[in-house]
Structure 1
Amino acid sequence: MSVIAMDTATDVLALAVADEDGKLMSSLVEFLPRAHSRLLQPSLGHLLAGARMNIHDVKLCVTGVGPGSYTGVRIAVAAAKAIGHACGIPIVAVPTVDGMAMALACAEGQRLGAFMALIDARRDRAFGCWYRLEDGRLWAQCEPTVQSLSDWLAIADRVHASIVASGRRLGDSAEAEGVRVRSWNEIAPMMPTALVRLGLSGSYERFEDERVHLLAPLYVLPTEAEAKLGAKGEGAE
């Protein structure tokens, strides 16, 4: 069985082609703000060719589902749904923050400890989640959510969590408070490995057959259109 994995929820495009044991056959990590839609499919084709395969050799698709950039999240999810439907293969949905936390654990060579993944949500807020890593297995200690950076840092201090953050403002703000945060651009090269490992762990929902159409992005916050519709409805009351 061959596996493909992808994530486009942050400024980093992460792709992988792996075998059934999770061994990477080819992978790509690029810092590409606002270019995911243009480069995802040709990059995936290049990786498959490098592994001497085509899309019909793939038996499982792992995709990051967010939270993160509203547009970015949709790109990988839409591509995964198209591949799953066209090729008749299951899709495994992995929250992007889970992948980031596992990537940090892989980068630091740890199998135990507390880890936190944060993504800039603007207005001094961050999408995030924190985890316990036990013998290499990731256990989320909350649902992915959004809250103030100060609240996240307070949790990290209490549980002694290692932190990875996507967004320069997050890193700058954390450093101003004396908190060491690993930059996502520094850790991202481990994302392909992390996605494949989590996708094969059996811990995440699989979407198969007609259920691939139920796969949806994990936005956490309302989309801009939903927010405007809600504001319009409140104004009409």
Structure 2
Amino acid sequence: MLVIALDTSTPAVTAGLVAFDDDRPRVLAERVTINPRAHGELLMPHLVDVMEEAGRGFADVEAIVAGIGPGPFTGLRVGLATAAALGQACDVAVHPVCGLDAIAAAAGVSGPLLVATDARRKEAYWAAYDGATRVDGPHVARPADVPVDGYRVAAGELADAVGLDAVEPRFPTPAGLVSAADLDAEPGPLVPLYLRRPDAEEPGKRKSVLTR
């Protein structure tokens, strides 16, 4: 099975083409650029480069996997909108995957693992795992407030910040995204994980300028 993997939930702009056979992902080509302000500019060019390097066309693709966060609004919307459009154009299913799950799947750790990525505002997105199986989270908190008792290692961009030994990867990888997806199941909706209330609020009732 040929699977496109996309993620824009972190500063990494990630696109890859993965062959998924015998429950093992094999990356045919990938492009990753660390630039938190260039998701919209780089994602599709990265994917076009990936397809050309792999010598495959979009008609060969059988599924798409997209990271749904947690992450900031703008980056997530770029990746999810692109994945949804590609799914319609290629007439294939689009499978949502938590980016923290993808990091855990690629870390290859057996036993307790924490995954922490940058949530900005001096906070971290984090989740706890037993191997690649999530047992808690995802949550958002200050790195100092992430519960680390019982854990020795952490993966993700803020692995060092939570005070544990850091292991790779720092960001979701194409292989991790595909490994974390259940490609045999009916895909769920592409609902982004923001984990925060929106900054914008509906205006309240206007105060009268008239006095009695």
* TM-score bracket for this pair, using the shorter chain length: 0.7 to 0.9
Is the partner of 1:143 in helix, strand or coil?
Answer: strand
Q: Return the match for 2:70 from 64, 67, 76.
A: 67
> What TM-score comes out, normalization by structure 2 length?
0.84
Call closer, same or farther: CA 1:235–1:160 in 2, change over 3 Å. farther
Call closer, same or farther: CA 1:76–1:20 in 2, change over 3 Å. same
Correspondence for 1:159: 150
Call closer, same or farther: CA 1:190–1:11 in 2, change over 3 Å. closer
Correspondence for 1:44: 47
Structure with a larger share of its residues in helix:
1
**1:73-152 alignment, distance < 5 Å:** 73-103=76-106, 105-106=107-108, 110=109, 112-133=110-131, 138-152=132-146
2:189 is aligned with 1:198: no
**Structure 2 portions without partners, runs of 5+:** 208-212
Is the partner of 2:169 in helix, strand or coil?
Answer: helix
Q: Deviations over 1:23-70 (max 9, x none)?
A: 111112221221111011011011111111111211100010001122
Correspondence for 1:15: 15
Q: Distance in 2 between matches of 1:40 and 1:82?
A: 13
Q: Return the match for 1:57 from 38, 44, 60.
A: 60
Is the partner of 1:159 in helix, strand or coil?
Answer: coil
Moved more, 87-96 or 187-196: 187-196
Call closer, same or farther: CA 1:149–1:188 in 2, change over 3 Å. closer
Q: Distance in 2 between matches of 1:25 and 1:59?
A: 14
Q: Distance in 2 between matches of 1:69 and 1:75?
A: 11
Q: Distance in 2 between matches of 1:165 and 1:189?
A: 6
AA aligned to 1:63 is: A
Q: Over aligned residue pairs, what C-alpha RMSD do you find?
A: 2.5
Q: Deviations over 1:194-223 (max 9, x none)?
A: 112112565x7614xxxxxx4221111122
Would the aligned equivalents of 2:18 and 2:174 in 1 still touch at CA under 8 Å?
Answer: no
Q: Distance in 1 between matches of 2:197 and 2:57?
A: 37
Q: Return the match for 1:223 from 193, 198, 204.
A: 198
Q: Distance in 2 between matches of 1:96 and 1:28?
A: 17
Correspondence for 1:211: none
**Structure 1 portions without partners, runs of 5+:** 208-213
Correspondence for 1:210: none
Task: Number of aligned residue pairs: give it.
Answer: 204
Is the partner of 1:99 in helix, strand or coil?
Answer: helix
After TM superposition, give the deviation of residue 182 of structure 1 in Å.
Answer: 2.9
Q: Distance in 2 between matches of 1:32 and 1:5?
A: 18
Q: Deviations over 1:165-187 (max 9, x none)?
A: 425xx84x54xxxx23538xx62
Call closer, same or farther: CA 1:68–1:62 in 2, change over 3 Å. same
**1:24-43 alignment, distance < 5 Å:** 24-43=27-46
Between structure 1 and structure 2, the one with the greater Rg is: 2
Is the partner of 2:4 in helix, strand or coil?
Answer: strand
Correspondence for 1:182: 166
Would the aligned equivalents of 1:26 and 1:47 in 2 still touch at CA under 8 Å?
Answer: yes
Q: Distance in 2 between matches of 1:55 and 1:198?
A: 22
